[in-house]
């Protein structure tokens, strides 16, 4: 099977599988065939490239004052004194200005004009996002990322009424235990640790592994609010989910829970645009 985008042709690696739909009690009530975007091959190289582009796009440029360490009256005393010809403060003789002196300028400071954003073509980014989404349906990729789950099929699809009926964390936990993905949230909690380095005093003291990604029709739904505070959990909309969420660290295969309506929106987003 082949689909075209302009002058590009994408071959489907396999037919998208049929997965069950679960209700609020964790019971199978129907089946649905995944959109054909889930049948795309997993391009790990392209996913990593897109991740690097989106990650660097969020970095804030930083730099030093061009005159930092250079505001001094230091000058070299010249030759014939038996001392190094470095700039020295008159009357003190203490070296200044040079990068090896106390208070001197840095040899290679961070510069504002440095290009830190890695650019990527729009078609590449679309294909990378679609490929990362396809990896969420492959058990081998999800297991390779280290996720813990007992679900038989991926991604886990829930009915739309679940978004409105579950309003409390304990109800969400009961559902996730029945769906076989709660163990991954416990893994994220167990592996939460204190960051090594200066970041711990800059407002990012703890590191929490990524666990389950919920792709829901609304960020304000009761289910979204109930699971948003769980360790490692992210909530995204079908039209805004990106490589940063689908493949954290550039590694594809995130454990995902999708609502039925969000699945239909994903089909519109990729089958109608990427695979048109």
* C-beta of residue 243 within 8 angstroms of C-beta of residue 50: yes
The pLDDT confidence band at residue 47, using thresholds 50, 70 and 90, is very high
Q: What is the per-residue pLDDT for 179?
A: 97
What is the rounded average pLDDT of the residues 154-176? 96
* C-beta of residue 211 within 8 angstroms of C-beta of residue 156: no
Q: What is the per-residue pLDDT for 6?
A: 43
Q: What is the DSSP string of 74-104?
A: -EE--SSSSS--SEE-TTT--B-SSTTSTTP
Phi, psi angle pair for 219, to nearest 5°: -75, -20
* C-beta of residue 230 within 8 angstroms of C-beta of residue 257: no
- For residue range 84-119, list pLDDT tens digits in order: 999 999 999 999 999 999 999 999 999 989 999 999
Architecture, CATH, for domain 2-59+118-274: 3-Layer(aba) Sandwich (3.40)
Q: Measured between alpha carbons, how far is 6 from 272 in angstroms, rounded to an integer? A: 13
Q: Measured between alpha carbons, how far is 215 from 262 in angstroms, rounded to an integer? A: 7
* Residue with token string 């948003």: 228
Q: Per-residue pLDDT for 11 more than 90?
A: no
Q: What is the DSSP string of the chain?
A: -EEEETTEEEE-SSPPPEEEEE-TTS-EEEEEEPPGGGGS---HHHHHHHHHHHHHHTPPP----TTTTT-S--EE--SSSSS--SEE-TTT--B-SSTTSTTPPPSS---TT---PPP--HHHHHHHHHHHHHHTT-HHHHHHTT-----SSSSEEE-HHHHHH--SHHHHHHHHHHHT-HHHHHHHHHT-EEPSSGGGGTT--EE----PEEE-S-TTSHHHHHHTTSTT-EEE-TTT--HHHHSGGG-----EEEEHHHHHHHHHHIIIIIT-
Task: Report pTM.
Answer: 0.86
What integer best gives the mean pLDDT of the chain? 93
- For residue range 238-268, list pLDDT tens digits in order: 999 999 999 999 999 999 999 999 999 999 9
What is the CB neighbour count within 10 angstroms for residue 29? 12
* C-beta of residue 11 within 8 angstroms of C-beta of residue 43: no
The residues spanned by each domain of the chain are: 2-59+118-274, 64-115
- Rounded to a whole number of angstroms, the CA Rg of the chain reads 26
């Amino acid at each position: 099977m082949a689909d075209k985008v302009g002058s590009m042709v994408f071959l489907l690696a396999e037919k998208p599988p049929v997965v069950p739909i679960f209700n609020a009690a964790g019971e199978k009530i129907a089946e649905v065939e995944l959109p054909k975007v889930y049948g795309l091959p997993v391009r790990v190289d392209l996913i990593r490239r897109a991740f690097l582009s989106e990650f660097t796009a969020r970095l804030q440029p930083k730099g030093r004052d061009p005159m930092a360490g250079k505001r001094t009256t230091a000058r070299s005393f010249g030759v014939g004194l038996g001392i190094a010809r470095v700039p020295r403060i008159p009357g003190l003789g203490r070296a200044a200005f040079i990068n090896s002196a106390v208070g001197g300028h840095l040899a290679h400071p961070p510069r504002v004009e440095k290009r830190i954003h890695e650019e990527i073509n729009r078609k590449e980014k679309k294909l990378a996002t679609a490929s990362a989404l396809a990896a969420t349906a492959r058990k081998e990729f999800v297991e390779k990322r280290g996720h813990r789950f007992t679900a038989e099929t991926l991604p886990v699809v829930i009915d739309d009424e679940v978004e409105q009926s579950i309003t409390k964390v304990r109800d969400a936990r009961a559902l996730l235990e029945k769906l076989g993905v709660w163990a991954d949230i416990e893994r994220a909690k167990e592996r939460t640790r204190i960051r090594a380095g200066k970041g711990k005093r800059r407002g990012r003291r703890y590191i929490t592994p990524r666990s389950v990604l919920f792709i829901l029709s609304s960020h304000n739904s009761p289910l979204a609010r109930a699971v948003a505070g769980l360790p490692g959990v992210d909530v995204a909309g079908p039209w805004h989910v990106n490589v940063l969420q689908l493949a954290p660290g550039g590694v594809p295969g995130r454990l995902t829970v999708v609502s039925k309506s969000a699945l239909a929106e994903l089909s519109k987003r990729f089958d109608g645009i990427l695979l048109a």
